[in-house]
Amino acid sequence: MTAGTEPHSGAVLEKAAHENFPVAPFFLPRPWRADLMAVYGYARLVDDIGDGDLAPGGTDAALLGAAPGAGGDRLALLDAVETDLRRVFTPGGSPRHPLLRALAPAVRRHRLTPGPFLDLIAANRRDQHVHRCPRYEDLLAYCELSANPVGRLVLAVTGTTSPERVRRSDAVCTALQITEHLQDVAEDLARGRVYLPAEDMERFGVREDDLRRPTGNARVRALVRHEADRARALLDEGAPLVGSVSGRLKLLLAGFVAGGRAALAAIAAAGHDVLPGPPRPTRTALLRAAAATLRREG
């Protein structure tokens, strides 16, 4: 558990180990690690609210000051976390939730703005009433809210924001989000969501019933390959971000790109059949991908 967090908040932060990308690895300066973990804790809390994955017992709802009985109302909880977020940006404000309290010092140190944090809430609000992506452009618009703000916050925390880096970062983050959706097709469908663009499903002759099978048929695998190729192209577009920085930040950003590439390689190694379960890269594969990224982009 991370020092200074309450038990349920520590459980949220521990999910960082299961992401496709390094959140706050040991080699970063301690202040960066603390602030990146604070950003991650906020993002993970918002996602857990949107996915209905909060720890049972209603502790988070109570901490956020949600109305009694609102523990199962995701939109009400998203409203409550937005209210608590506003306290972070209000002079003299006192956030209620420990993960928001942990975020406040990072916001002050780096003069972070509310926009990226509000976008993450907007993405999860969207998930409550929009359950399909008609077109690829709709998926990209969703990633603009759900993934790209995280990369922009990493640049802000490390003091390396520039228009070109933001553009490259957006490409990497969108690629990571699409890759995660490909890994989690079955899990997302169980939640009532399909992030595969409907126009692409029609093009490849894939029906939602095909996604409910234990394994993917040839049409499903061809569709997954198509979307994986798109994610790989986005990673290639964003990869020069690595070479635009130096020092330990270069290692971190190489880890982001490598995490996506290793995950896509795991999907390919599974024959693009993601329905039995999320294909995950091994630690060795991640390290090799990171070394290759540094050689190519460094």
The pair phi, psi for residue 194, each rounded to 5°, is -130, 115
Q: What is the pTM of this model?
A: 0.91
Q: What is the pLDDT of residue 42?
A: 96
Give per-residue burial for 12-44: e unless 16+ CB within 10 Å, then b: bbeebeeebbbbbeeebeeebbbbbbbbbbbbb
Question: Residue 86 carries which side chain, given as an amino acid letter?
Answer: R
| Dist. CA 149–CA 30, nearest whole Å | 22
Q: What is the pLDDT of residue 59?
A: 87
Is the CB of residue 148 less than 8 Å from the CB of residue 174?
yes
**Helices within 21-114 (DSSP H only):** 30-51, 59-64, 74-88, 98-110
- Chain centroid, CA 173 distance in Å: 8
The pair phi, psi for residue 190, each rounded to 5°, is -65, -25
| Dist. CA 81–CA 205, nearest whole Å | 41
Three-state DSSP state, 271: coil
- pLDDT of the chain, 298 residues: tens digit per residue: 344 455 455 555 555 445 555 666 778 889 899 999 999 999 999 999 999 988 877 888 889 988 777 768 999 999 999 999 999 999 999 999 999 999 999 999 999 999 999 999 999 999 999 999 999 999 999 999 999 999 999 999 999 999 999 999 999 999 999 999 999 999 999 999 999 999 999 999 999 999 999 999 999 999 999 999 999 999 999 999 999 999 999 999 999 999 999 999 999 999 999 999 999 999 999 999 999 999 998 7
